Amino acid sequence: MKGKRGLSPVIATVLLIAIVIVIGLIVFLWFRGITEEAITKFDGRNIKLFCDELKMEAEYSGGYVYISNSGNVPIYRVKAKITSDGSYSTEILEENWPETGLLQGGTYAGQVDSGDELLLIPVLVGETAEEKKEAYTCEERHGVYASIN
């Protein structure tokens, strides 16, 4: 064992530097998530709360989807998640979509690719602190499955 030098001080230094970098990155990403700018709607309430209040009905027939807004929250756009053969694709319904969004009692009819299952996820619009309009896509649990006829 005489005359052999170990690399342990070099390896220990590299490991310590790597650990510090990883911890720093974790703390940075954590703080970034905390300070996410909130999007508000109407009376200053967070837009995420309005996703719970949505009432949307949908039906799919002959390549067309029919959507009606029976709630009192305007729907800016709708994101369609089309599932077929174990995979899915998404598209935003924009063709013939009302410019002001789908208001209370409003209806929409548009063409959509066919699939085994069609989930329609509402997209709302609100304002940030700088009063910029910003779109917010609700979580999938707030979406509506279109009944296929």
Structural domain includes residue 135: yes
Q: Which residues contact 36 (CB under 8 A, 6 or more apart)?
A: none
**pLDDT, tens digit (0-9, with 9 covering 90-100), for 49-90:** 888 888 999 998 888 899 999 988 899 999 999 888 888 888
Structural domain includes residue 126: yes
Helix or strand run (H / E) with residue 148: strand 147-148
CA angle 45, 124, 35 (to 5 degrees): 55
The structural domain count of the chain equals 1
The parent domain of residue 141 ranges over: 40-148
Structural domain includes residue 80: yes
Structural domain includes residue 73: yes
Structural domain includes residue 30: no
Half-sphere exposure of 116 (CA within 13 A, CB side): 6
pLDDT class of 136 with cuts at 50, 70, 90: confident
Structural domain includes residue 68: yes
CATH number of the domain that residue 106 is part of: 2.60.40
Structural domain includes residue 12: no
What pLDDT is stored for residue 79 in this prediction?
93
